[in-house]
Amino acid sequence: MSRPEDTAPSLRLDDRKALVTGAGSGIGAAAAGALARAGAEVVLLGRTRSGLDKLAAEIEASGGRALPLVCDVTDAVAMREAIGGLDSLDILLNNAGGNIPEPFVDVSDSHLDSLLSLNVRAAFQVAQAAVRKMLERKDRQLRGGTVINVTSQMGHVGAPNRTVYCMTKHALEGLTKAMAVELAPRNIRVNSIAPTFVETPLTKPYFTDGDFSKWVLQRIPLGRLGKPEEIAWAVVFLASSAASMITGTSLVVDGGWTAQ
Count the Cβ atoms, other than its own, within 10 Å of residue 249.
16
Give domain status of residue 32, yes or no: yes
Alpha carbon 15 to its chain's center: 20
Beta-carbon contacts of 130 under 8 Å, excluding residues fewer than 6 positions away, are 19, 83, 89, 92, 94, 147
d(CA 215, CA 85): 45
Which domain range does residue 117 map to? 11-255
CATH of the domain at 228: 3.40.50.720
Which runs of consecutive H residues, i.e. helices, occur in 17-139?
26-37, 49-61, 76-84, 109-115, 123-134
For residue range 127-150, list pLDDT tens digits in order: 999 999 999 987 756 678 999 999
Please name which of 93, 96, 193, 97 lies closest in space to residue 145, comparing C-alpha atoms.
93
Look at the chain and report how many structural domains it folds into: 1
Give domain status of residue 2, yes or no: no
For residue range 160-169, list pLDDT tens digits in order: 999 999 999 9
Please give the model's pTM, rounded to 2 decimal places.
Answer: 0.95
Give domain status of residue 4, yes or no: no
The whole-number average pLDDT for the span 209-214 is: 94
The fraction of the chain above a pLDDT of 90, given in percent, is 90
Please name which of 97, 93, 127 lies closest in space to residue 18, comparing C-alpha atoms.
93
pLDDT given at position 4: 54
Question: Which residues form the catalytic set?
Answer: 165, 169
The pLDDT-based confidence of 203 (bands split at 50, 70, 90) is confident
